[in-house]
Amino acid sequence: MNSAVELRNVGKVYISARDGERVEALSGIDFSLRRGEFLAVVGPSGCGKSTLLSMIAGFSTPTTGEIMFEGKRVAGPGPERGVMFQDYALFPWRTVAGNVEFGPYARGIKPADRHARVQALIELVGLRGFERRYPQELSGGMRQRCALARMLANDPVMWLMDEPLAAVDLQTRIILQDELLRLWGDAGRNAERPTVMFVTHGIDEAVLLADRIIVLGRRPGRIKQVVDVNLPRPRAPLRNSPEMARLAAQVWDLIRDEAVQAITEESR
Amino acid sequence: MKPAATRFTHVIEPLLGLAAVLLIWELVSRHVGNAVLVPPPAIVWRAFVAMLDSDLPMDIAASLFHLGIGYGLGACVGLGLALLAASSQWVEAIVDPFAEFLRPISPIAWIPLAILLFGVGPAVPVFLIFYASLFPIFIATLDGVSRVDANLIHAAQSLGASRRLVILRVVLPAALPAVVAGARLSLGVAWMSLVAGEIIGGDAGIGWRILWYQEFFQMDRVMAGILIVGALGLLADSVLRALQRRLLRWHPSSAVTQS
Amino acid sequence: MNLLRVQQPLDVHLRWLLPLSTLVILLASWEAAVRATHTQGLVPLPSGIYRSGTNLTLDGVIFEAMSGSLQRVLIGFSIGALAGIPLGLAIGTIPVLNRSLRMVLDTLRSIAPIAWIPMAILWLGVRGNAALFVVAYAAVFPFVVNASQAAQLIDRRLVDAARALGAGRWVVIRSVLVPGCMPMIFTGARIALSFAWASIIAAELAIGIKIAGQGRSVAGIGQLMVETLYVKRDVDALVFYMLVIGLVSLLIDTGLRRVQQRLLPWNAK
């Protein structure tokens, strides 16, 4: 079976804490992810993209429909689906090394066995020398790299990333995008890559990184369109190319109206 | 401003303040002229030294014993109850109203009942301290736990942590700043309850001893005892503050404020 | 907040049904246990508390005692405010004063107010002023601490702005310092009041025990409780008094909070 993730008619309804109203965050979501595919999810504020990711990660359950991962129903979080959060969610009381080793530690791997892997990962993300530092001592970009290393420590087959680069400045973001592509295997062979679901506000970012882009609409959150990004890999050299710009404009056209709507509503 | 000068003033000024207070004390004492009514500083000091040789160590030990047991029990129960309430909405729905109901009833109000039920003795201060320390810690822990960033828990779960691991290794450390703040607050209340409990319903400890000296009109010892109570309270809080600094090295705000 | 993976929020009805039913079960089993072991009079029980409560309320003694205690709380609280606020503001605005008095004040603040009772009795007699001393002592420090902290946190630019507009020192104090510090001082007032309330009871208990059995008139709720403890030995009445004390404590704190909201509407808390 080639699909890593399958969503069948998934919907999510909230009861608003403020006024008790029913809010339909997502409705009729139907798609599947191939193994090794890099999928980006974009959409205006309030379209439910983070909710979608949260359900695939197992933090919440859909109100309707079902979510399958590798053929089995998703019943909760698990180490095979690694997650990266927008605000890093690093454990502030643990050092960089302490954070990175948490996954193996939680799964019962002994200190002697996990030390080498943790060290290798820290070097891989370029944090050598910072093993004993606490998250509060690190810059945004470094924290994100630490969060990445932490996720990779369990060698998950799927990466779920919720706007992971939203909180860093533009220059750092470009550097991290390149690193992300490198670590994922942008230049390598298809079959060995992890499956990625990448939620972002940045359309340029989506076009740069992904094989396919799902555009969500809001109220209720549903799939507006699926855009194929038929650009060759490795992608990093294609940054700022006309083909990318054209695709980005195409995606933006799909979102623009609802995005404007979202802004005027948010300021209320 | 030269750094050396300000460092000097930082040491000198508190001493000047202390000297000023001692001077005023001495003057008042001379003016009143009655060493029993207002014992002058020198006599109080001598009384303190004499007490050191006789009952003081034992009294302090007794007080610390009361405090240790009462506070330890109160902290454990408060913490455990809060964790239970945090993990089960049923428990929270039941316990929280009772906690809110009991909170306005000051521990002092319990003293007569405690005396009636337990008799005059160590049980009164210990029970009082237990009751006094329980609430701040319970409330602070519950609040701290509920404020734990959900993403931290999610992250741990995604990394494969079991429920037990999530509670012990993520929720508890994350809630620790709030818990420690609650612990410092409850120590203050506990200390006051200790003294009140010993004075009114105890038969040992520094609080009880102060009253004992008053019976014999040894007011110099009474005064010394009062100051010792203050010093011990200060010491206890300093210990807790140092512990707080040590445990929360990693805390970003490092809002380990002065007091 | 829940530590489980996914959990629906508790049904609205259960939120009050659970504690209510637990309370009923608790009270019922408490009543049954005491009656079964024939320990009425030795151990309080719900029906006894209710009975004592109604008797004492109708009696009126409790109101007299309560008003006596509250009077002293009010006076002590006022003394604490009058002494504490200016001192706190001074410490907060004059760094020299802050540095020199900090150690002394911290030590004095650590002395549990009730510890002064033996000296206070000697100086002011047992009639009521000793208790007042303890209350005032307890009330002073929250004001000092909060006022000084508030003064230190005042935005310097507000002071500069006032000065630039031509305000002299006293005007600055009146129009910038005091209003700016009010929110924190009010919080200090609430703390001071709760300390004062606890202290009056402690002081009255201590004094009451000293003079127990000497047949003097009851001056406050603390002395009333002591009399009930040693003379009347009414366990249920004691619990009733405790509940009343808690009620009054709640009322004064709620009252003060309302006042704070009224007087300081710009400080949404």
Contact C181, C151 (CB under 8 A): yes
Give residue B1's pLDDT: 47
Weakest-pLDDT range from A242-246, B69-73, B162-166, C59-63: C59-63
pLDDT-based confidence at B90, cuts 50/70/90?
A: confident
Residue B185, in any domain of the structure: yes
Asked if pLDDT for residue C268 goes beyond 80, the answer is no
Query: Is any Cβ of chain C less than 8 angstroms from the Cβ of B254?
Result: no
Amino acid identity for residue B203 in this structure? D
**CB proximity C5 to A under 8 Å:** yes
User: Would B252 be classed as within a structural domain?
Assistant: no
Please list every residue in chain C whose beta carbon sits closer than 8 Å to the beta carbon of residue B259: 106, 145
Q: Pick B196's closest partner by Cβ from C101, C106, C202.
A: C202
pLDDT band at A268 (very low <50, low <70, confident <90, very high): very low
**Inter-chain contact B214–C118, Cβ cutoff 8 Å?**
yes
With respect to residue B29, please indicate whether it lies within any of the assigned structural domains: no
pLDDT tier at C123, thresholds 50, 70, 90? confident
Rounded to whole angstroms, the Cα distance separating A55 from A59 reads: 6
Question: What is the set of domains in chain A, with CATH numbers?
Answer: 3-80+157-266 (3.40.50.300), 86-155 (no CATH)
Q: What is the pLDDT of residues A55-110, one digit of tens each?
A: 999 999 999 999 999 888 898 899 999 999 988 899 999 999 999 999 999 988 88
CB contact at 8 A, B117 and C45 = no
**Which whole-number Å values give the CA distances from C34 to C28, C40, C42, in the listed order?**
10, 6, 9
Distances from the Cα of A75 to the Cα of A48, A61, A62, A78, C6, angstroms: 20, 8, 11, 9, 10
Joined together, the tokens standing for residue C44 give 């309080």
Most C CBs within 10 A among B9, B192, B235, hence the mutation to make, goes to B192
ipTM: 0.87
Q: How confident is the model at residue B94 (pLDDT cuts 50, 70, 90)?
A: confident
Q: Per the domain annotation, does C35 fall within a domain?
A: no
State the pLDDT confidence band at C1, using cuts at 50, 70 and 90.
very low
Closest-approach residue (CA) in chain A for C6? A60
State which of A10-19, B29-38, B106-115, C220-229 shows the largest mean pLDDT: B106-115
- pLDDT reading at A17 higher than 70: no
Query: C96 and chain A: CB distance < 8 Å anywhere?
Result: no
- CB–CB of C3 and B105 under 8 A? no
| Residue reference for tokens 């620790």 | B176
Instruction: Determine the residue of chain C that is closest to B96 in CA distance.
Output: C19
Q: C6 and A77: CB-CB below 8 Å? A: no
Beta bridge partners of B224: none
Q: Which of C4, C5, C10, C11 to mutate to test the interface with A (most CBs of A within 10 A)?
A: C5
Specify the pLDDT at position C9. Answer: 62
Q: Nearest by CB to A89, which of B155, B162, B169?
A: B155
For C208, name the nearest residue in chain B, comparing CA atoms only.
Answer: B200
Does C38 map to a domain?
no
Model pLDDT, residue A95: 93
pLDDT single digits (tens) C221-260: 888 888 888 887 888 888 899 999 999 988 988 888 888 8
Which residues does chain A have within 8 Å of residue B162's beta carbon, measured at their own beta carbons? 106
**B2 lies in some domain:** no
B contact test, residue of C23, C111, C148, C229 with most B CBs within 10 A: C111
Q: Are C112 and B191 in contact (CB < 8 Å)? A: yes
Please, which residues have CB within 8 angstroms of residue A134's CB and are 6 or more apart in sequence? A92, A93, A94, A95, A96, B249, B250
When pLDDT is cut at 50, 70 and 90, the band that residue B255 belongs to is: very low
Tokens of C218: 């009851």
How long is chain B? 259
Percent of chain B with pLDDT strictly greater than 70: 95
| Chain B: closest CA distance from residue C141 (Å) | 13
Interval A191-217: pLDDT, tens: 678 999 999 988 999 999 999 999 998
Write the secondary structure of chain C as one string of H (helix), E (strand) and C (coil).
CCCCCCCCCCCHHHHHHHHHHHHHHHHHHHHHHHHHCCCECCECCHHHHHHHHHHHHHHCHHHHHHHHHHHHHHHHHHHHHHHHHHHHHHHHHCHHHHHHHHHHHHHHHHCCHHHHHHHHHHHHCCCCHHHHHHHHHHHHHHHHHHHHHHHHHCCHHHHHHHHHCCCCHHHHHHHHHHHHHHHHHHHHHHHHHHHHHHHHHHHHHHHHHHCCCCCCCCCCHHHHHHHHHHHHCCHHHHHHHHHHHHHHHHHHHHHHHHHHHHHCCCCCC
Over 60: is that where the pLDDT of A141 sits?
yes
Instruction: Assess if residue B255 is contained within a domain.
Output: no
**Residue written as token pair 């005007």:** C171
* CATH code of the domain covering residue B152: 1.10.3720.10
pLDDT, position A191: 64
Least confident of A33-37, B244-248, C89-93: B244-248
Which residue does chain B place closest to C204, by CA atoms?
B200
**Hey, are the CB atoms on A107 and B176 less than 8 Å from each other?**
no
Separation between Cα atoms, residue A83 and residue A72, nearest integer Å: 19
Evaluate the omega torsion of the peptide bond into residue B39 and state whether it is cis, within 30 degrees of 0: no
Task: Output the average pLDDT for chain C.
Answer: 83
Structure tokens at B29: 């004492």
Query: C217: pLDDT confidence band, cut at 50, 70 and 90?
Result: low
Q: Going by DSSP bridges, is the β-strand pair A195-199/A212-217 parallel, antiparallel, or unpaired? A: unpaired
B250: closest chain A residue by CA: A93
Give me the mean pLDDT over the A138-162 stretch. 92
| pLDDT band at B254; cut points 50, 70, 90 | very low
Give the lowest-confidence range in A172-181, A194-203, A258-267, B181-190. Answer: A258-267
| Strand arrangement, sheet containing A72-73 | A22-34, A3-15, A64-69, A72-73
Provide the residue range defining the domain that includes B158. 42-247
The string of DSSP letters for A16-56 reads -TTT--EEEEEEEEEEEEETT-EEEEE-STTSSHHHHHHHH
A163 pLDDT band, cuts 50/70/90, is very high
What's residue A106's pLDDT?
A: 92
The model's pTM is 0.79
The mean pLDDT of A217-242, rounded to a whole number, is: 87
Number of Cα atoms under 13 Å in the Cβ half of residue A55? 24
Q: Quick check: is B30 in a domain?
A: no
Identify whether the C-beta of residue B128 lies closer than 8 Å to the C-beta of residue B70.
yes
A45 vs C30: which has the higher pLDDT: C30
Tell me which of C3 and C81 has the higher pLDDT: C81
Strand pairing partners for C40? C43
Domain total of chain C: 1
Q: Note whether C10 contacts B93, CB cutoff 8 Å.
A: yes
pLDDT value, residue B194 = 92
Instruction: Check if the beta carbon of residue C46 is closer than 8 Å to that of residue C27.
Output: yes
Give the tokens for residue B5.
Answer: 């000068």
> Is residue B192 one of the residues assigned to a domain?
yes
Please report residues of B whose CB lies closer than 8 A to that of C115. Answer: 195, 199, 207, 210, 225-226, 229-230
Candidates B104, B226, B259; nearest CB to C250: B104
Contacts of B13 in chain C (CB under 8 A): 96, 99-100
- Can you give the pLDDT at residue C156? 79
Lowest average pLDDT, out of A180-194, B10-24, C137-151, C204-218, goes to C204-218
Neighbours of chain B (3+ CB pairs under 8 A): A, C
Given a contact as 3+ CB pairs under 8 Å, which chains touch A?
Answer: B, C
- The pLDDT value recorded for residue B71 is 94
Distance from CA of B189 to the nearest CA of C (A): 9
Residue of B189, B158, B180, B167 lying closest to B71 (CA atoms): B189
Question: What is the reported pLDDT for C6?
Answer: 41
CB B42 within 8 A of CB B23: no
Confidence of residue C10 (pLDDT cuts 50, 70, 90): low
Contact C104 B18 (CB under 8 A): yes
Q: From CA C198, how far away is CA B193, in angstroms rounded?
A: 10
- A149 contacts in chain B (CB < 8 Å): none
Domains in chain B: how many in total? 1
Mind telling me how many Å the CA of A59 is from chain C's nearest CA? 7
Alpha-carbon separation of residue B234 from B237, C46, C57, C170, C192 (angstroms) = 5, 41, 42, 36, 19
**Nearest CA-CA distance, residue B178 and chain C, Å:** 15
Range of the domain at C203: 50-263
pLDDT band at C18 (very low <50, low <70, confident <90, very high): confident
CA distance C171 to chain B (A): 29
Interface residue A225 vs chain C (CB under 8 A): no
- Residue C179 sits in a domain whose CATH number is 1.10.3720.10
Residue C221 C-alpha, separation from nearest chain A C-alpha, in angstroms: 45
Mean predicted confidence (pLDDT) in C121-143: 87
Q: Does A78 touch chain C (CB under 8 A)?
A: no
CB C178 within 8 A of CB C185: no
Q: What's the pLDDT at B53?
A: 87
Q: Residue B136: is its pLDDT beyond 50?
A: yes
Q: Does residue A151 surpass a pLDDT of 90? A: yes
Which residues from chain B sit within 8 angstroms of residue C198, using beta carbons? 106-108, 192
* Cβ separation C202–B111 shorter than 8 A: yes
Mean pLDDT of the residues in chain B: 85
Mean pLDDT of A110-127: 90
A182 near A192, Cβ under 8 Å?
no
Q: What is the pLDDT of residue C172?
A: 81
Cβ B229–C239 below 8 Å, yes or no? no
What pairing do the DSSP bridges indicate for beta strands A3-15 and A64-69? antiparallel
Residue C140 forms part of a structural domain: yes
Q: Please give the average per-residue pLDDT across A23-44, as a whole number.
A: 89
Portion 7-26 of B in contact with C at CB < 8 A: 9-10, 13-14, 16-18, 20-21
Tell whether B102 is within 8 A of chain C (Cβ). Answer: yes
Number of Cβ within a 10 Å radius of residue C164: 9
Residue C265 — pLDDT band, cuts 50, 70, 90?
confident
- Neighbouring chains of C at 3+ CB pairs under 8 Å are A, B
Place of tokens 């992250």: B155
Would you state the structure tokens that stand for residue A237, as one six-digit string?
Answer: 């050299």
Q: In angstroms, what separates the C-alpha of C5 from chain A's closest C-alpha?
A: 7
The amino acid sitting at A81 is: R
Query: What residues are paired with A26 via a beta bridge?
Result: A12, A221
Question: Rounded mean pLDDT of B153-173?
Answer: 91
Q: pLDDT per residue over C188-204, tens digit each?
A: 998 899 899 989 999 98
